[in-house]
Homo-oligomer: A and B are copies of this chain.
Amino acid sequence: MAEFELYCFKESGNAYKAAIMLELSGCDWSKHWVDFFNGETRSAEYRQNVNVMGEVPVLNHGDVHLTQTGVILNYLSEQTGKFGGQTDDERREILRWILFDNHKLTSYTATYRFMTNFMKDADKAVTDFLGGRMHGAFKVLNSRLEGRDFVAADQPTIADLSLCGYLFWPDEFGASWDDYPEIGAWLDRLSQLPGWVAPYDLMPSGPAA
């Protein structure tokens, strides 16, 4: 049995945040596929037994069962000693950008992508609203990266791994990094980290054979 087990599915950028952290940190981990598109995460059983929030990812590590990517990333950073901050200031900056990601960047990007890419019949007023908010968040991130290699420190941290979760799929939410060159260059840097694997190559699309 692997040391860590991650509940995930390949289309989930939130699961990717945890998956790429496990992979880049060289952890021994296994993948438990969740059937999101048939409603598994929203079932009463899943909410009761796995996660009351009805979400992926979930990380199991011995007796520790964690949800929320920010908690999982923080825990893995403590466990592995990798991708964390070196000072209190850096640790606060990391948390600040993880919160911004959850509140303003992933929240709108993931929902916009889901509605335009997977649902097809979403209301245009709603997707226009979400797309506007998504681009607002991209502007903030692009500004932040001016003159910086990584978001929260001189080296890559879990803040970068959180923020990039959905951003390797610009085609799926109709954005071009030509419009946000700092984001494009930063994603290139992340994808050159030793051991990096793209989301669709890292996570499963069905139950293990």
Instruction: Tell me the A residues contacting B by CB distance below 8 Å.
Output: 47, 52-54, 66-71, 74-75, 92, 95-96, 98-100, 102-104, 106-107, 123, 125-126, 129, 140, 143-144
Contact B144 A52, beta carbon cutoff 8 Å = yes
Contact B68 A99, beta carbon cutoff 8 Å = yes
Q: Compute how far the CA of A53 lies from the CA of B151 in the bound complex, rounded to whole angstroms.
A: 13
Given the known interface contacts A103-B103, A103-B107, A126-B125, the answer about A66 and B53 at a Cβ–Cβ threshold of 8 Å is no
Contact B143 A52, beta carbon cutoff 8 Å = yes
Q: Compute how far the CA of A107 lies from the CA of B144 in the bound complex, rounded to whole angstroms.
A: 22
Given the known interface contacts A126-B126, A126-B129, A144-B52, the answer about A92 and B66 at a Cβ–Cβ threshold of 8 Å is yes
Contact B52 A75, beta carbon cutoff 8 Å = no
Contact B104 A92, beta carbon cutoff 8 Å = no
